[in-house]
Amino acid sequence: MIKCIAIDDEPLALAQIAGYISNVPFLHQVGACQDAFEAMQLIASEDVDLIFVDINMPDLNGLDFVRSLVSSPLVVFTTAYSEYAVEGFKLDAVDYLLKPVSFKDFLKSVDKARKQLEYRSGGGAADNDSNVINPDGTLFVKSDYKIIRINVNQIKYIECMSEYVRIYLEGEDKPLMTLLSMRKLEERLPASMFMRVHRSYIVNLHKIQEISRLRIIFEGNVYIPVGDNYKEKFNDYISKMCLGK
């Protein structure tokens, strides 16, 4: 688990980063601070691996705040001004996020930080190529620094999130997030059950509740689009399975 804090004097920007942190299973938010001095006290009392800090803050800006730290955690700078990028990287920042920050860019920064921390600990980069289907129809998935066994039949659909995928399971409120490419996952799932219908989605064909205007509908009013490059194969499958005209 990577312990991190978010620092920003703008409440909405702080809430956005805090929300992103809560959506990544291997991140644990130690705190959210609205100024550098509050963050200093938190870092002095807690073990922190990673900080997301805004550059433009009153009294003590993000750059000077990081310079003041005797032993700095990994740093990702956030700002609305791109001209600060060079100064940020001079301080060995992991990354530089330009506001408004997208979740996709946030994930890329988090992955860079994760790899640096694993390198420091001697663990090397994560190898999720070990995700394979077992004879009993289960799959081992690395998520949140744990290896979790899931039943392939419980997978409803899979969503691509940059270098990660989210696996949505029946009976679970939150998806599993794991570092794995859609291509490799598509190759390893049984083709008789799973189909890629969009560059960002793989669906369990057995879990589809309804199809309307090239949108796949799952239980809970989840709508997944069928991409142009995939609709011929998908329509062919539906035509073979459908009764009536």
Three-state secondary structure of 213-237: CCEEEECCCEEEECCCCCHHHHHHH
In the chain, residues under CATH classification 3.40.50.2300 are: 2-120
- The Cβ-side half-sphere exposure at 161, using a 13 Å CA radius, reads 24
CATH of domain 128-241: 2.40.50.1020
Average of per-residue pLDDT values in the chain? 85
Among 50-54, 110-114, 194-198, the minimum mean pLDDT is found in 110-114
pTM, two decimals, is 0.58
Q: Which of 55-59, 156-160, 221-225 has the highest mean pLDDT?
A: 156-160
What's residue 128's pLDDT? 43
pLDDT in tens, 144-189: 778 888 999 999 999 998 778 999 999 888 899 888 888 888 888 8
Over 80: is that where the pLDDT of 88 sits? no
In the chain, residues under CATH classification 2.40.50.1020 are: 128-241
The CATH classification of domain 2-120, taken from the options 3.40.50.2300, 1.20.58.220, 3.10.20.440, 2.60.40.10: 3.40.50.2300
What's residue 91's pLDDT? 67
Q: At 26, phi and psi to the nearest 5?
A: -95, 10
Over 80: is that where the pLDDT of 195 sits? yes
